[in-house]
Amino acid sequence: MLGDKGYDSNPNRRQLRQRRILPVISRKGSRDIIGLGRLRHVVEQTFAQLHQFKRLAVRRERRLDLHNAFVSPACALICWRRLNNASS
């Protein structure tokens, strides 16, 4: 899991490790992890693409299953567009 210094705490790291997730989080008061910005850019770009779908940018659904019903096709459409542009 990628995270910035705001998520740096031992309980957060412990919870991630219990779930067998490797935390990649910069420590507060130390230099940033080299290359973390490039990886985080991919994550931020993906969220920006998801927010192009107005229904996902402002979440109105209270039920998680309904929200996921809109996220899944949006992700599929983003992947299809990216693959379609790569083949062109």
Distances (CA, A) of 21 to 16, 17, 25: 5, 5, 12
Q: What is the mean pLDDT of residues 15-26?
A: 87
45-81 pLDDT per residue, tens:
888 888 888 777 777 778 888 888 888 899 999 889 8
Residue matched to tokens 């996220």: 71
Q: In the beta sheet, which residues pair with residue 25?
A: 3
Residue ranges per structural domain of the chain: 1-35, 51-88
Measured CA to CA, the distance from residue 74 to residue 39 in angstroms comes to: 22
Q: What is the pLDDT of residue 88?
A: 66
Q: What is the pLDDT of residue 60?
A: 73
Residue with the larger pLDDT of the pair 53 and 32: 53
Max avg pLDDT among 9-18, 24-33, 54-63: 9-18
Percentage, residues of the chain above pLDDT 90: 10
Residue 29 has pLDDT above 90, yes or no: no
Helix (H) or strand (E) holding 78, with range, is: helix 64-87
Measured CA to CA, the distance from residue 30 to residue 41 in angstroms comes to: 21
Decide: 22 and 1 in contact? Cβ < 8 Å: yes
Residue 6: both structure tokens together: 């705001």
